[in-house]
């Protein structure tokens, strides 16, 4: 019996992998999540509510001061919003004149994190294809790039975090690494980023003699039809030149804190 159950588990695992490769939602996963969801959502909201309640009591004074500062910042940002919108329109007009593709990630879909699988480096969001989300769409939070949509259902999706080991975001059915640039150097240094472990990213620079420094900020370079340029990925915490292979690698600390993810934006 145990052997039979193990064999059945392997068959179900193969079905799950097959569904992922063909970029379809696995019906069994969908059915189980459908059953779990009605309890998971209130559970998540309840624990967050309790946590926020006690945090509010303990840090009331700081939160009030922070709120005032944020309101001030918002006022200042409003002054620039109209200018940014005008510049964006101008960029779109010029790109249309030159017959370039439109820039990806112009529309933000707000989503709540309703699940987190620590071992798999995945989060589940409460938005899906009905809200316009597509496979491979980047997901960001206030701190920076979080990951890309890897599994899609009608009302929810799963996001593979950029910290995932060997992350290869999906794009048009193929896989690619994230193009990134070091914005603290002039000219900016170009490279590719991939996950190394749950809390670190690795960036390989195209130029093995790139003068990257610890503390440099790394953002997406936009060499993708899904991931727009300028999303903060993280900052360099260590550089590792390898003269034998003629490469320069850097370790990055991701911009976001996985455990603190609550509200995120899917860029469609």
Partner 1 sequence: MKGVKGWIVAILLLWIAGAAQEAIAFQVSFGGISPDFPLIVIICVGLFSDKRSGAVVGFLAGVIHGAIAGGHMAAYAVTRTLVGFLTGWFNGMEFEGNAAVAFIVTAAATLCTQLTFLLLNPRGAILPFLLATIGSAMYNGVLAIPLYALLTKVLDSPRR
Which residues does 90 contact at the CB level (< 8 Å), separation at least 6? Answer: none
Cβ proximity to partner 1, 155 vs 184, nearer residue: 155
Contact at 8 Å (CB) between 25 and 153? yes
Ranges within 134-193 binding partner 1 (CB under 8 A)? 150-151, 158, 165-166
Site string for partner 1, 102-121 (x = CB under 8 A): ------------xxxxxxx-
47 binds partner 1 (CB under 8 A): yes
Tell me which residues in 199-228 interact with partner 1 (CB under 8 A).
Answer: 199
Whole-angstrom Cα distance, residue 196 to residue 49? 33
Strand, coil or helix: 224: coil
Cis bond upstream, residue 187 (ω within 30): yes
The residue among 42 and 211 lying less far from partner 1, judged by its C-beta, is 42
Q: How many CB atoms lie within 10 A of CB 148?
A: 27
Q: Is 16 in the site for partner 1 (CB under 8 A)?
A: yes
Of 29-37, 175-183, 220-228, 232-240, which part binds partner 1 (CB under 8 A)?
Answer: 29-37
Which of 21, 22, 35, 243 contacts partner 1 by CB under 8 A? Answer: 35
Q: Which of 23, 103, 112, 122 binds partner 1 (CB under 8 A)?
A: 122
Phi, psi of 31 (to 5 degrees): -65, -45
Q: Which is nearer to partner 1, 33 or 249 (CB)?
A: 33
Contacting range for partner 1; rule: CB under 8 A; set: 31-39, 134-142, 184-192, 238-246: 31-39
- Using CB under 8 A, which residues numbered 248 to 267 contact partner 1? 258-259
Cβ 156 to partner 1, closest distance in Å? 11
- State yes or no: residue 5 binds partner 1 (CB under 8 A): yes
Sign of dihedral through CA atoms 130, 134, 135, 141? negative
Q: How many CB atoms lie within 10 A of CB 77?
A: 10
Output 176 or 196, the one with its CB closest to partner 1: 196
CB 241 within 8 A of CB 248: yes
Stretch that binds partner 1, among 10-18, 69-77, 82-90, 216-224 (CB under 8 A): 10-18
**Least Å from the CB of residue 36 to partner 1:** 5
| Inter-residue contact 256 to 138 (CB < 8 Å) | no
* Residues 90, 96, 102, 108, Cα dihedral to 10°: 40
Q: Is 169 in contact with 176 (CB distance < 8 Å)?
A: yes
The answer to whether 8 contacts partner 1 (rule: CB under 8 A) is: yes
DSSP string for residues in 111-176: EEEEEEETTTTEEEES--GGGT--TT-EEEETTEEEEEEEEE-SS-EEEEETTSBT---EETTEE-
Residues near partner 1, by CB under 8 A: 1-2, 5-6, 8-10, 12-16, 20, 26, 28-29, 32-33, 35-36, 39-41, 43-44, 47-48, 51, 114-120, 122, 124, 150-151, 158, 165-166, 196-199, 258-259
């Amino acid at each position: 019996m145990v052997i039979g159950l193990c064999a059945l588990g392997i068959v179900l695992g193969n079905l799950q992998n097959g569904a992922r490769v063909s970029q379809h939602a696995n019906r069994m996963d969908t059915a189980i999540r459908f059953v779990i969801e009605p309890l998971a959502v209130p559970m998540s909201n309840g624990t967050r509510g309790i946590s926020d309640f006690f945090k509010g009591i303990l840090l009331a004074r700081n939160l009030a001061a922070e709120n005032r500062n944020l309101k001030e910042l918002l006022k200042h940002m409003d002054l620039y919003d109209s200018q940014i919108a005008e510049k964006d329109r101008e960029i779109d007009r010029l790109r249309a004149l030159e017959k370039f593709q439109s820039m990806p990630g112009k529309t933000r879909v707000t989503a709540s994190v309703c699940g987190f699988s620590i071992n798999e480096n995945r989060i589940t969001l409460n938005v899906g294809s009905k809200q316009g989300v597509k496979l491979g769409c980047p997901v960001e939070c206030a701190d920076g790039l979080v990951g890309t949509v890897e599994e899609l259902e009608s009302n929810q999706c799963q996001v593979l975090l950029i910290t995932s080991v060997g992350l290869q975001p999906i794009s048009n059915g193929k896989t690619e690494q994230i193009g990134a640039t070091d914005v603290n150097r002039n000219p900016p240094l170009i490279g590719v980023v991939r996950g190394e472990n749950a809390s670190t990213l690795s960036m390989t620079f195209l130029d093995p003699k790139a003068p990257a420094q610890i503390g440099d900020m790394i953002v997406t370079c936009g060499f993708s039809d899904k991931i727009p340029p300028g999303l903060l990925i993280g900052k360099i915490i260590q550089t590792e030149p390898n003269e034998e292979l003629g490469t320069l690698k850097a370790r990055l600390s991701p911009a976001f804190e996985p455990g603190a993810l609550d509200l995120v934006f899917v860029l469609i």
